[in-house]
C-alpha cells in the first residue's frame, strides 16, 4: 500500500475537535445551520425542463431514509466503446453535479468487517484489459479519459478497498449460481458481463433491455440463462467485482431516521454491481459512488457533456490523492495497466525535478505521520509544534517551486493534489496544536473537489472547513461572506456525493455525518490505546 495513507480516526477526530465539530457520542449531533445551494431550473421553464429530463428517479428521501429503498434504477447512461479502454459508460444527456445516474443492486454480495487483504484497487478486470490501458501511441489518448480498462468501479473514492479472499469469491459464485437459476436480471447480466473473451468485449450491452429484464417475473426469460460452470462464474467475479465501503453518514442517517441511537460500523462490501462494472477508471473521475444497504448509488460529480465518458477511480481516496508515481504503481499492481487519463498525462509532462520533489516530500510525510500520531496520543505539545514547523517548511518549498515554474492553473491543481497528504497532515497538526486552520481546510476541500468531487475526502474536508469558519467567525462570518462561502463549499460537496437535497434532509445528513465521525474517532482511539498498551 502507498505510504500516503489516510488519517487515523483518532487524528481526524482531533482535527474535528480543533475545527469545532465531531461530538463524542453516537447520538446524532444538532443539525448544521448551513444548507446546500438551491437547484437551478434549466432555461426555458418547466416544460423545457420536463422535456430534457429522463423519467424521474427515486427521491433522496426514498434512497436514503425509506425503510424500503428502491432496489435499482437506470438513468441517463448507456454503454459505449472507447479506444484503449474498451467498453464503458457514457452520458445520454448533459449532466449537472448530483444528477442520479443509476442505482445498482448487486448480483452477488459479500459483507466483510475485516480479515482480507487491502489494496488500492478493487478487482481484476483491468488485467484483462491491460492491452487497452497500455495502448500504443496516441490511440490510448483518444478517449475522453483514456484511463484504465472497464470494470469493477474500484473504491469509488470511498476509502480503502477491501481485497476479497477465496472464501468471498466462492460465496459470490454460489450466489450467482442461485440467482441465475431463478432471477431474469441475473441471467441476463451474466450473459452480458465481460468474461475475458473478444466476442463478449465486442458486444455492447443494452442497459434498457437489461433493466426491463429486472422487472420480469421469476421464471420468465429463462432462455437467456447461460450455461456457466463454477470456474466460469469465478472468472466473471474476478473480472467484474467491486470493493466499496459502506457510506458512514448514510448509515448514521438511516439509523437516526429509524429512531436508533446506535448503528453498525460501515462494512466493507465486496460484490458484483453490473452497471458499476462498466465504469472505466480515471485519476480525475466525474462519477461519485456511495454504497448503502448493499446498493450502489452513482451520481455525476461534475458537469458532464452529452456522450462524454463516465469514469470512477479504481484507487482508494488517499491513493487517488497521491503522486503520479504512486498512483501508477498501485494501478499496475492491482489492475495491470498504465493509466493515461488527462491528469496522469498532464503530470507526466511536468519538470522531472518537480515530480521528484513531490515524491520526496510525500516520502518525508510518511515518517512525520507516525511521529504526529505518537505525539497526539501521548499529548506531547512540543513535538506537535515541531512537526507543524517541518510541514510548514515543506509547504513553502512547494510554493516556491510553483512560483518558479509558473504552471498553468490546471497543472498546478493536479500537482498540488498529489501533495494532498502534506496539506492534510499540516491541517491535522495545526488542529492538534490548537491553532487556527480555515485556510488549510479550504485548500483541502478545494483540491479534493477538483480531483475527486463527491469523494469521501471532499465531503469530509468541506465539512471541517465550514465548521472551522463557523467556530472562528460566528455571525460576523455570515455578515462578511466567509461563512456563506464555506456553506457553498460544503453544499457543493454534499450535492456531488448525495444529490440535491431538501434543506431539512441536508441538515439531518450533516448531523449524521458528525455523529458517524465522532463514533469512528472514539473507536479508533480505543483501538490505538489498546495497541499501545500491549506494546
Report d(CA 449, CA 301) in Å as an integer. 9
Q: What is the pLDDT of residue 435?
A: 85
The more confident residue out of 512 and 533 is 512
pLDDT at 437 over 70: yes
pLDDT at 162: 58
Q: Report pLDDT for 316.
A: 83
pLDDT over 80 at 248, yes or no: yes
pLDDT tens per residue across span 295-319: 999 999 999 999 999 999 999 888 9
Q: Please report the pLDDT score of residue 472 as a whole number.
A: 81
Q: Ranked by mean pLDDT, which of 92-106, 125-139, 156-170, 214-228 comes out on top? A: 92-106
User: Which residue has better confidence, 47 or 93?
Assistant: 93
Residue 40 in this model has a pLDDT that exceeds 80: no
pLDDT in tens, 504-513: 999 999 999 9
Cα four-point dihedral sign 473, 479, 483, 485: negative
Mean pLDDT across the stretch 247-263?
90
With beta carbons less than 8 A apart as the criterion, state whether 478 and 484 touch.
yes
Lowest mean pLDDT among 133-137, 179-183, 294-298, 359-363: 133-137
| Band (262; pLDDT cuts 50, 70, 90) | confident
Query: What's the pLDDT score for residue 87?
Result: 95
- Residue the block writes with cell 461572506: 481
Q: What is the pLDDT of residue 150?
A: 44
Q: Please name which of 22, 10, 6, 20 lies closest in space to residue 513, comparing C-alpha atoms.
A: 22
Whether the CB-CB separation of 332 and 301 falls below 8 Å is answered with: no
Of the listed ranges 13-27, 139-153, 350-364, the one predicted with least confidence: 13-27
Evaluate if residue 49 carries a pLDDT over 60.
no
> Which residues lie closer than 8 Å to 510 by C-beta, 6 or more apart?
31, 32, 34, 463, 490, 494
Q: How confident is the model at residue 163 (pLDDT cuts 50, 70, 90)?
A: low
Q: What is the 3-state secondary structure (H, E, C) of 129-163?
A: CHHHHCCCHHHHHCCCCCCCCCCCCCCCCCCCEEE
- 423-158-11-111 Cα dihedral, nearest 10 degrees: -160
What mean pLDDT, rounded, does the chain reach? 80
Question: Sign of the CA dihedral 149, 154, 159, 160?
Answer: negative
Q: What percent of the chain has pLDDT over 70?
A: 73
Q: What pLDDT does residue 456 have? A: 94
Does residue 29 have a pLDDT over 70?
Answer: no
The mean pLDDT value for 289-296 works out to: 94
pLDDT in tens, 85-103: 899 999 999 999 999 999 9
Q: Say what the pLDDT of residue 481 is.
A: 84
Structure-block grid coordinates of residue 269: 462490501
Task: Give me Rg for the CA atoms of the chain.
Answer: 23
User: SS3 of 334, please?
Assistant: helix
- CA 416, distance to chain mean position in Å, is 19
pLDDT at 520: 76
Alpha-carbon gap, residue 34 to 484, rounded angstroms: 8
User: With respect to CATH, is domain 321-522 assigned 1.25.40?
Assistant: yes
The domain spans of the chain are 60-112+160-214+222-312, 321-522
pLDDT value at position 336? 84
Q: In the predicted model, is pLDDT for residue 2 greater than 90?
A: no
pLDDT at 335: 80
Neighbouring-strand partners of residue 330: none
pLDDT score of 487: 95
Assigned CATH for 60-112+160-214+222-312:
2.170.270.10
Instruction: Give me the pLDDT at residue 264, please.
Output: 81
Whole-number pLDDT of residue 477: 55
**Mean pLDDT lowest for which of 39-48, 256-265, 384-393, 500-509?**
39-48
The model's confidence at residue 523, banded by pLDDT at 50, 70 and 90, is low
Q: pLDDT per residue over 120-155, tens digit each?
A: 333 333 333 333 333 333 333 334 445 555 444 444
Query: pLDDT value at position 114?
Result: 52
Check pLDDT > 60 for residue 407: yes
Residue 267 in this model has a pLDDT that exceeds 70: yes
Contact 287, 300 (CB under 8 A): yes
**Does the pLDDT of residue 202 top 50, yes or no?**
yes
Amino acid at each position: 500500500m502507498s505510504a500516503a495513507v489516510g488519517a487515523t480516526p483518532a487524528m481526524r477526530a482531533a482535527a474535528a475537535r480543533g475545527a469545532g465539530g465531531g461530538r463524542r457520542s453516537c447520538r446524532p449531533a444538532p443539525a448544521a445551520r448551513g444548507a446546500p445551494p438551491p437547484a437551478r431550473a434549466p432555461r426555458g421553464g418547466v416544460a423545457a425542463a420536463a422535456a430534457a429530463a429522463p423519467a424521474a428517479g427515486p427521491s433522496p428521501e426514498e434512497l436514503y431514509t425509506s425503510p424500503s429503498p428502491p432496489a435499482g434504477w437506470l438513468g441517463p447512461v448507456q454503454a459505449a466503446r472507447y479506444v484503449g479502454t474498451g467498453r464503458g459508460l457514457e452520458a445520454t444527456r448533459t449532466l449537472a453535479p448530483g444528477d442520479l445516474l443509476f442505482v445498482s443492486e448487486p448480483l452477488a454480495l459479500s459483507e466483510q468487517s475485516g480479515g482480507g487483504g487491502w489494496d488500492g484497487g478493487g478487482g481484476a478486470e483491468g488485467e484483462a484489459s491491460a492491452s487497452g490501458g497500455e495502448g500504443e501511441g496516441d490511440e490510448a489518448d483518444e478517449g475522453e479519459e483514456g484511463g484504465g480498462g472497464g470494470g469493477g468501479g474500484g473504491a469509488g473514492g470511498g476509502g480503502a478497498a477491501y481485497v476479497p479472499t477465496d472464501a468471498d469469491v466462492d460465496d459470490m459464485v454460489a450466489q450467482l449460481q442461485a440467482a441465475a437459476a431463478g432471477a431474469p436480471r441475473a441471467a441476463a447480466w451474466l450473459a452480458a458481463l465481460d468474461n475475458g473473451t473478444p466476442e463478449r468485449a465486442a458486444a455492447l450491452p443494452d442497459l434498457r433491455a437489461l433493466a426491463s429484464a429486472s422487472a420480469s417475473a421469476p421464471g420468465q426469460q429463462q432462455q437467456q440463462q447461460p450455461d456457466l460452470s463454477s470456474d466460469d462464474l469465478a472468472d466473471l467475479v474476478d473480472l467484474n467485482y467491486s470493493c466499496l465501503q459502506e457510506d458512514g453518514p448514510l448509515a448514521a442517517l438511516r439509523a437516526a431516521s429509524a429512531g436508533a441511537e446506535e448503528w453498525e460500523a460501515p462494512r466493507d462490501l465486496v460484490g458484483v454491481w453490473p452497471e458499476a462494472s462498466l465504469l472505466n477508471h480515471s485519476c480525475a473521475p466525474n462519477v461519485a459512488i456511495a454504497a448503502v444497504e448493499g446498493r450502489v448509488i452513482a451520481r455525476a460529480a461534475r458537469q458532464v457533456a452529452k456522450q462524454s465518458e463516465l469514469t470512477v477511480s479504481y484507487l482508494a481516496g488517499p491513493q487517488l490523492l497521491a503522486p503520479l508515481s504512486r498512483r501508477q504503481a498501485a494501478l499496475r499492481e492491482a489492475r495491470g495497466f498504465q493509466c493515461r487519463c488527462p491528469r496522469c498525462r498532464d503530470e507526466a509532462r511536468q519538470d522531472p525535478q518537480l515530480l521528484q520533489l513531490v515524491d520526496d516530500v510525500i516520502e518525508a510525510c510518511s515518517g512525520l505521520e507516525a511521529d504526529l500520531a505518537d505525539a497526539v496520543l501521548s499529548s506531547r505539545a512540543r513535538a506537535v509544534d515541531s512537526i507543524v514547523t517541518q510541514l510548514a517548511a515543506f509547504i513553502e518549498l512547494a510554493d516556491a517551486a510553483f512560483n518558479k515554474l509558473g504552471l498553468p492553473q490546471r497543472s498546478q491543481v493536479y500537482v498540488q493534489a498529489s501533495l494532498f497528504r502534506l496539506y492534510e497532515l499540516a491541517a491535522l497538526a495545526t488542529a492538534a496544536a490548537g491553532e487556527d486552520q480555515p485556510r488549510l481546510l479550504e485548500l483541502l476541500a478545494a483540491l479534493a473537489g477538483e480531483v475527486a468531487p463527491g469523494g469521501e475526502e471532499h465531503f469530509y474536508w468541506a465539512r471541517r472547513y465550514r465548521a472551522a469558519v463557523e467556530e472562528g467567525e460566528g455571525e460576523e462570518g455570515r455578515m462578511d461572506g466567509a461563512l456563506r462561502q464555506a456553506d457553498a463549499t460544503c453544499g457543493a460537496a454534499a450535492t456531488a456525493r448525495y444529490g440535491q437535497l431538501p434543506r431539512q434532509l441536508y441538515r439531518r445528513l450533516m448531523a449524521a455525518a458528525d455523529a458517524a465521525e465522532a463514533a469512528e474517532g472514539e473507536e479508533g482511539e480505543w483501538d490505538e490505546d489498546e495497541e499501545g498498551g500491549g506494546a
